[in-house]
Amino acid sequence: MSALDLAQKLKDQFGDLLTIAPEFRSEITVQVADAQKIAEVCAFAKKELGFDYLIDISSLDHYGDDPRFTVVYELSGIGHNTHVRLKTNLSEEMAQIPTVTTVWRTANWHEREIYDMMGIQFAGHPDLRRILMWDGYPYFPLRKDFPLAGKPTDLPTVAFTKPAPLEGGPFVTLPGGKDSIAREPRARIPEQN
């Protein structure tokens, strides 16, 4: 069965809740209109259609547009070797979506990373806490309104005490150089008065 056939079975099950986008580069994307139904759609895709492998969950920030966020689920079926992408949109005011950890346990860390970097909440998640940034960090670094140069912090042992340089990105080291200290981004910033 092709990815389009499997996507059509999803559409047959959920009707107007789903829209199948035109095939692009042999990839099928299914848009889920109601983000609060994503766990139900994912459970059906796994149990009835054999999508037993959650490849990834990612998120997009459409800053300035409404809905602001898109959450993307990459599904694969090992038995039938087929890939389908599910997408659903969230407004900034309602940046909460049901967890799919009850469908695939591997969703745990993906959802934690999205929460940590974008601030999207996953209702029902068994351990929704930061995975990359430290507890109490007040920002979401992958949102488009977060400055590329970073933000200052009062925790010098945890992060930079001044914003990192924009050129080369805040955590990018240069190749080569005499040693690792010379390649470190903060070493390239002239002291500011």
Question: How far is the C-alpha of 60 from the C-alpha of 114, rounded, in Å?
Answer: 10
Strands (E), the chain: 18-20, 29-32, 53-61, 69-77, 82-90, 96-98, 121-123
Does the pLDDT value for residue 48 go beyond 50? yes
| 113 and 24 fall within a common domain | yes
Inform me whether the pLDDT recorded for 193 exceeds 70. no
Based on the fold, state whether residues 137 and 126 are members of the same structural domain: yes
Least confident range of 92-106, 117-131, 139-153: 139-153
Mean pLDDT of 56-71: 95
Q: How many domains are there within the chain?
A: 2
The CATH code of the domain that includes 127 is 3.30.460.80
**Model confidence over 146-180: pLDDT tens digits?**
887 777 766 655 555 555 444 445 455 555 666 76
Structural domain range at position 174: 147-193
Q: Are residues 32 and 57 in the same domain?
A: yes
Are both 9 and 46 inside the same structural domain? Answer: yes
Residues 6 or more apart from 63 whose CB is under 8 A from it? 143, 144, 145
Is 78 found in the same domain as 115?
yes
The token pair that represents 9 in the structure block: 């079975």
The predicted structure's pLDDT at residue 140? 92
Residue 27, SS3 per DSSP: strand
Can you give the pLDDT at residue 82? 95
Which of 146, 161, 179 terminates a domain? The answer is 146
- Verify that 42 and 84 share a domain, yes or no: yes
| Domain shared by 16 and 111, yes or no | yes
| Residue 16, pLDDT score | 95
Same domain, 120 and 179: no
| Domain-ending residue, one of 128, 146, 164 | 146
Q: Looking at the structure, tell me whether residues 48 and 128 fall in a common domain.
A: yes
Same domain, 116 and 134: yes
**Structure confidence at residue 59 (pLDDT):** 97
One domain for residues 119 and 175: no
The answer to whether residues 116 and 152 belong to one domain is no
CB 75 within 8 A of CB 53: yes
At 44, list the tokens. 């059906």
Phi/psi of residue 77, nearest 5 degrees:
-110, 115
3-state secondary structure of 58: strand
| 156 three-state secondary structure | coil
Name the CA dihedral angle for 110, 60, 169, 156, rounded to a multiple of 10 degrees: -60
